[in-house]
C-alpha cells in the first residue's frame, strides 16, 4: 500500500503485485526514491482519467529510469478507481507516469489487435479526493491540453508500512 498526499487531500492505493510484478516494482522504486514528491497531476479529463507522476509544476519532465515491460496482458481491467501506467504509442514505454481511471475504461484494456495499459493497483481510500481533483478546471497550459488551471501537486508518496 502507498499513501499519496496532494494539495487537494490524500489517498491510498493497494498494489497488484501478483498481477503486475514488474510494474509494481518499477512504481515502488520511484516511491522509495521520493521521485513523486513535487510532481503534479498534469492531465485531467473528467469522466475518463487524471494523470500525473512525471512533471514538475513548471511542466518540466523529470528524469526517468528506463521503461518497464508492459504487463497489460495480465487480465486486470481498467475500471473506475484503478491505476494504470501511462505510456506513449510505444507499447513498452511506461516509466513514472500513471493515471487513475475515473470510469470503466474497457477500451484501454488488452485485446486482440491492441496492446492495452497495465493496471497495477486501485484506490483503497480517498476516492473522494480523486473526484475532487477531477473537478479542477482545465485548459491549455505550457503546451499541454486538459491541464489543470491550478497546480494539483503530489506533496508526497510513501509506502504505508514505511510510514509506521
Tens digits of pLDDT across the chain (164 residues): 999 999 999 999 999 999 999 999 999 999 999 999 999 999 999 999 999 999 999 999 999 999 999 999 999 999 999 999 999 999 999 999 999 999 999 999 999 989 999 999 999 999 999 999 999 999 999 999 999 999 999 999 999 975 44
Residue 141: strand, helix, or coil: strand
What is the rounded CA–CA span in Å between residue 148 and residue 141?
8
- pTM, two decimals, is 0.95
For residue 8, give the nearest of 152, 158, 157 by alpha carbon.
Answer: 152
What pLDDT was estimated at residue 164? 44
CA torsion 143-145-151-154 (nearest 10°) is: -100
Cβ 8 vs Cβ 132: under 8 Å: yes
CATH class of 2-163: mainly beta
What pLDDT was estimated at residue 163? 46
What pLDDT was estimated at residue 161? 76
Residue 99's CB: how many other CB atoms inside 10 A?
23
What pLDDT was estimated at residue 88? 95
Amino acid at each position: 500500500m502507498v499513501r499519496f498526499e496532494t494539495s487537494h487531500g490524500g489517498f491510498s492505493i493497494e498494489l497488484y503485485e501478483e498481477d503486475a510484478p514488474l510494474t509494481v516494482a518499477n512504481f515502488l522504486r520511484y516511491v522509495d526514491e521520493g521521485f513523486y514528491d513535487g510532481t503534479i497531476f498534469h492531465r485531467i479529463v473528467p469522466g475518463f482519467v487524471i494523470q500525473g507522476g512525471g512533471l514538475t509544476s513548471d511542466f518540466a519532465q523529470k528524469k526517468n529510469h528506463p521503461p518497464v515491460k508492459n504487463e497489460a496482458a495480465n487480465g486486470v481491467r481498467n475500471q473506475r478507481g484503478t491505476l494504470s501506467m501511462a505510456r506513449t504509442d510505444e507499447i513498452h514505454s511506461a516509466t513514472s507516469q500513471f493515471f487513475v481511471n475515473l470510469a470503466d475504461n474497457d477500451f484501454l484494456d488488452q485485446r486482440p489487435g491492441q496492446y492495452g495499459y497495465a493496471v497495477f493497483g486501485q484506490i483503497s481510500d480517498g476516492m473522494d479526493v480523486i473526484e475532487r481533483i477531477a473537478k479542477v478546471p482545465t485548459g491549455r497550459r505550457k503546451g499541454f491540453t486538459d491541464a489543470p488551471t491550478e497546480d494539483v501537486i503530489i506533496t508526497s508518496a510513501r509506502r504505508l508500512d514505511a510510514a509506521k
